[in-house]
Structure 1
């Protein structure tokens, strides 16, 4: 009865709370469309490279593959959220679909966090304890860990989100997965999400990064290129973690501590949803990890970038050279100097012969 009374009181607070949802009709649709257009092909490509790593028995590919699957599930839910915000936060589907989309949203956050931790711990064991912990760095172990993460997060969602996730606001719009102010039962859940879903994984990431950085700097046997690759992988993991998930969880904690009125909820609404949109960029940022996960993948993207730069440089160089050599004043000046100084003519002729002989040599790598 107490829970039922609390739910009634919370619903009454939501009905009496008027909040400006303009940010949902302006910024949110742009971000959702951008993440969908960029994230879908990027994650499909990432899934392919993860599969290639799994094929060669690389346990890191298992974690990257699961990370991509979590991102793709959320990307497929974006059209529903896009329609929701464009209709002024009015959910037109049934409550079950609202609960599924909400769970996918939160699962993307915490499953991504879990697998980012797995990637960092895997690199820590590979660098700091390469022989002692070899049995934990196998494809079989990675599969077991992945199953455990998915099972834990799905069970947690089923236990935590047992309340009704569809309510009506003051404008009689059906609101999905949003309660303003926070409902009574949400406080304990948010504290759990902050500590177990953000703070503890963040400590693991810092511990892994510190251990890897210390060993890599002291190691003389590791190649410099390999050191840079390892540092890039772990650094990008921490940057993605902090930028995409840090601000959201800080605002989540602030709301859980101080939000007990509609006025406070309205004042923090825009800032909170900007941080929530940052978690969406995780779907675009995760494929960056694939650039640093293996030498071959990194070289592929590096060569692609070098090719584009070389093409631009060649175009600029050809334009400058053709303009300089085709100028009549330049040719006339060279001829005048050659007539005054016969040695200059001899040097120019020798240089031309040398350039011709070099251009006829085979290029590097061509047999």
Structure 2
């Protein structure tokens, strides 16, 4: 039950149509695409850890943060489809809200770790070895998780469900925003977006400068690195930039229901953009690597080969059960040739796989 004395907010009448039209589509898309993509990403991070690569620790932590948020999406889908009416208890609202914000800021933290790790590996390959070890990566990861959990425990000690003008129980929504949220939003903008963006920009500018000056790097490799770096910064700005800018705008100007209603749609559209980070992370940091591409190409080709063999077996089974005819064509009387062709394909696949490993 909502405590009307403690949790009641100004009775703003807000048009929530964006939640019935756009939000379910985005949440369902991210859940369907993000869940398998992040599971594969987690496996890729495990392979990196197994190979004693500290980058795998950052990738696994980044993926775990994404998966935690993806698992909370069914609750948000039901929430928006019920016209922003939270039907569960307040504890679950807090948990889902924490997973939402944890996903944003833990993702930002580990994106910075990955960028700094790559910067040290490319720009200072023979220095700072103590910062590029498995132990250092585990310590940094523990610090990031501890910091964000403590921040959430400090921020979300207040009641996070309230009653709107339509008697709906809303979760993590205050219109207009409360006084205590202003300073928190300024902190989230500066420490959670602006500072990490400068770290990202500094790291990748250093990487691009070294790659540009390198005469031993092939031209296509340089293009690939530049595209990856520029895509990372671009997706960081698109996923997190609009949301944090609107946090500051709300903190400065939102002091009445009229402004809250005007900015509601664009603010929640920016919040939906942060959700796409769960899909962008595995694409950028895992599926863009050449070794991962070859691994998925192997899986794809193996599946196609198995499907081809399955079709052959089904055809042979049909031919064995069919009545014999004296005028059957020569190639149908020797189905073993098709099986041999399939075996030949498998042999060629093995050769290409071996070439890929080389």
CA apart distance, 1:140:
1.4
2:239 corresponds to: 244
Contact 1:190 1:256 in 2 (8 A): yes
- The answer as to 2:8 corresponding to 1:11 is yes
- The answer as to 2:199 corresponding to 1:189 is no
Name the SS of the counterpart of 1:208 in structure 2.
helix
CA apart distance, 1:85:
0.7
CA apart distance, 1:289:
2.0
1:162-173 equivalences under 5 Å are 162-173=157-168
Contact 1:18 1:170 in 2 (8 A): yes
Count of matched residue positions in the alignment of Structure 1 and Structure 2: 305
1:113 corresponds to: 108
1:282-297 equivalences under 5 Å are 282-291=277-286, 294-297=289-292
Sort the Cα spacing of 1:205 and 1:290 in 2 relative to 1 into closer, same or farther, 3 A: closer
1:205 corresponds to: 200
Contact 1:232 1:292 in 2 (8 A): no
Contact 2:9 2:164 in 1 (8 A): no
Q: RMSD across aligned C-alpha pairs, in angstroms?
A: 2.5
Query: What TM-score do you get using the length of structure 1 for normalisation?
Result: 0.78
Contact 2:7 2:161 in 1 (8 A): no
1:280 corresponds to: 275
Contact 2:9 2:175 in 1 (8 A): no
- The answer as to 2:132 corresponding to 1:137 is yes
1:219-258 equivalences under 5 Å are 219-224=214-219, 226-258=221-253
Q: Which runs of 5+ in 1 are unaligned?
A: 1-6, 308-362
- The answer as to 2:173 corresponding to 1:178 is yes
CA apart distance, 1:55:
0.6
Contact 1:113 1:201 in 2 (8 A): yes
Q: Counterparts of 1:156 and 1:236 in 2: how far apart (Å)?
A: 30
Q: Counterparts of 2:293 and 2:222 in 1: how far apart (Å)?
A: 14
2:317 corresponds to: none
Contact 1:62 1:139 in 2 (8 A): yes
Contact 1:124 1:209 in 2 (8 A): yes
1:127-170 deviation per Cα after TM superposition (whole angstroms, max 9, x unaligned): 11111112211111111111110000000110112111011001
Name the SS of the counterpart of 1:202 in structure 2.
helix
2:60 corresponds to: 65
- Out of 21, 43, 51, the residue aligned to residue 38 of structure 2 is 43
Name the SS of the counterpart of 2:179 in structure 1.
coil
Q: Counterparts of 2:46 and 2:227 in 1: how far apart (Å)?
A: 21
- Out of 250, 261, 264, the residue aligned to residue 259 of structure 2 is 264
Query: What TM-score do you get using the length of structure 2 for normalisation?
Result: 0.80
2:320 corresponds to: none
For the pair shown, the structure with the greater C-alpha radius of gyration is 1
By percentage of residues, which structure has more helix?
A: 1
Sort the Cα spacing of 1:12 and 1:65 in 2 relative to 1 into closer, same or farther, 3 A: closer
2:88 corresponds to: 93
Contact 1:70 1:107 in 2 (8 A): yes
CA apart distance, 1:258:
0.6
- The answer as to 2:123 corresponding to 1:124 is no
